[in-house]
C-alpha cells in the first residue's frame, strides 16, 4: 500500500478523525494505530453498504480498493494514542 | 461507569481483543484507548442488531446498558497502543 497516497486521500477524514488519527468528536473512533485489516474491512463495509452511516457511507462511496488499502495503511501507520 | 466491573465482564473479550486491548487477530480492532462513546455505540449496535457479526452479535447479546458502559469505560481506559 502507498501510505503517502493514503495520507493525501485521507485529508478529508481529518475533519472528524483528527489530523493525527485521534478523533475530535467523542462519537467517532480513533483510527491511529488501528489494525490495517480492520480499517480496510470497515471502509469497505461503508462503501459496499454492509454498514450504513449518513456521513461515512458517502465518504466511502467511490473509493477504489487501492484507495481503501492506502487510507487504511496510512491510519494504521500513525502512532496509537496520537 | 465502573471500570473494575467492566474489566471483569470483558474477560471473555480478551480472547480476540487482547488482554491489553490490542487485538491478537489482524481482522479484529484494537480497543485500547478507543473513544468510550464509540465503544458503547459499537457494542450496542451488535447487541441491538444494527451491526451483525457471527462472533460479536452473540457476545453482545444480553448485555445491560450498565455492562456496556462498564466494558466501554474499561477498554477506553487502557493505554492506546498497549
For the stretch B31-81, pLDDT in tens is 999 999 999 999 999 999 999 999 999 999 999 999 999 999 999 999 999
Q: What is the CB neighbour count within 10 angstroms for residue A82?
A: 16
Task: Give mean pLDDT, residues A66-73.
Answer: 98
pLDDT score for B44: 98
Q: How far is B56 from chain A (nearest CA, A)?
A: 14
Task: Give me the number of domains chain A comprises.
Answer: 1
Provide, as residue numbers in chain B, all residues whose Cβ is less than 8 Å from the Cβ of A29. 34-35, 38
Binary contact (B33, A79; C-beta < 8 A): no
Torsion angle, CA of B10/A77/A15/B79, rounded to 10 degrees?
30
Beta-carbon contacts of B16 under 8 Å, excluding residues fewer than 6 positions away, are B23, B24, B25, B28, B55
Full residue range of the structural domain in which residue A58 is found:
3-77
Residue A17 backbone dihedrals phi, psi, to 5 degrees = -90, 0
The string of pLDDT tens digits covering residues A5-52 is 999 999 999 999 999 999 989 999 999 999 999 999 999 999 999 999
Selected for mutation to probe chain B from A26, A32, A75, A76 (highest B CB count within 10 Å) is A26
The single-letter DSSP state of residue A23 is -
Spatial separation of the C-alpha atoms in residues A68 and B30, rounded to whole Å: 19
C-alpha cell at B37: 462513546
pLDDT score for A49: 95
ipTM of the complex: 0.92
Task: Give mean pLDDT, residues B4-18.
Answer: 96
pLDDT score for A45: 97
| Helical residues (DSSP H) of B1-82, grouped into ranges | 3-9, 14-17, 36-47, 56-60, 65-77
Q: Determine, yes or no, domain membership for B7.
A: yes
Q: Determine, yes or no, domain membership for B36.
A: yes
CATH code of residue A53? 1.10.760.10
The string of pLDDT tens digits covering residues A44-68 is 999 999 999 999 999 999 999 999 9
C-alpha cell at A73: 495503511
Q: Determine, yes or no, domain membership for A32.
A: yes
Amino acid at each position: 500500500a502507498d501510505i503517502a497516497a493514503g495520507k493525501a486521500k485521507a485529508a478529508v477524514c481529518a475533519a472528524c478523525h483528527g489530523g493525527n488519527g485521534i478523533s475530535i468528536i467523542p462519537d467517532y473512533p480513533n483510527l491511529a494505530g488501528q489494525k490495517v485489516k480492520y480499517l480496510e474491512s470497515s471502509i469497505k463495509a461503508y462503501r459496499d453498504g454492509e454498514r450504513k452511516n449518513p456521513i461515512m457511507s458517502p465518504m466511502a462511496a467511490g473509493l477504489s480498493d487501492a484507495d481503501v488499502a492506502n487510507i487504511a495503511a496510512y491510519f494504521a501507520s500513525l502512532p496509537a494514542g496520537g
